[in-house]
Amino acid sequence: MNTTTTAFPRSVHEKYLGIVQLARTIDKATMTANGTIGDYHYNCPMDQALFTEFGIDSKRLSDLASQVAKKTSDRAVIEAYVKPLIQKKTHFELERFNRETLGHTPSGNSLTAFNTLRAKVAPDRTDVTTWPDLLDLEEARSVPKRTAGV
């Protein structure tokens, strides 16, 4: 967390409207609007997966977050935009998205970044193999120890 970041976004694991990653993405959009995003990145690959899955326009969400940040609106405006997009999905599709997001493992170039960050924040936690768990560790959230096959 750098000096312009005053708080962490919510955890990837936290569900908003039944969807993981959504609360974090909204927080990062709002932090961008407030100028407090720091080292975080709005519209990162995990955000993009959310946008693609639900047909969310990242610019529209950012604009709504800007209104919230300026207090010309409230979070209900964001929910009014996002909720109908989520309601288009079946229960099975929502559960699949949540499962895939929480199981998001690094690959390619992100594997190097993942291993570097894990070595920095929790070198003894080789059981941590997903981005959501590593982000929680980096943000000082509790992550249960995993065993093989769990």
> Does 109 share its domain with 73?
no
User: Which residues are bridge partners to 16 per DSSP?
Assistant: 19
> Does 71 share its domain with 129?
no
* Count of structural domains within the chain: 2
Please spell the DSSP secondary structure of 50-101, one letter per residue: HHHHHT--HHHHHHHHHHHHTTSS-HHHHHHHHHHHHHTS-HHHHHHHHHHH
**More confident: 28 or 75:** 28
**Residues 89-142 pLDDT 10s:** 999 999 999 999 999 999 988 999 999 999 999 999 999 999 999 999 999 999
List Cα–Cα distances, 70 to 34, 97, 107, 132, in angstroms.
Answer: 8, 32, 38, 29
> Does 144 share its domain with 98?
no
> Does 37 share its domain with 97?
yes
- Boundaries of domain holding 136: 105-150
> Does 81 share its domain with 109?
no
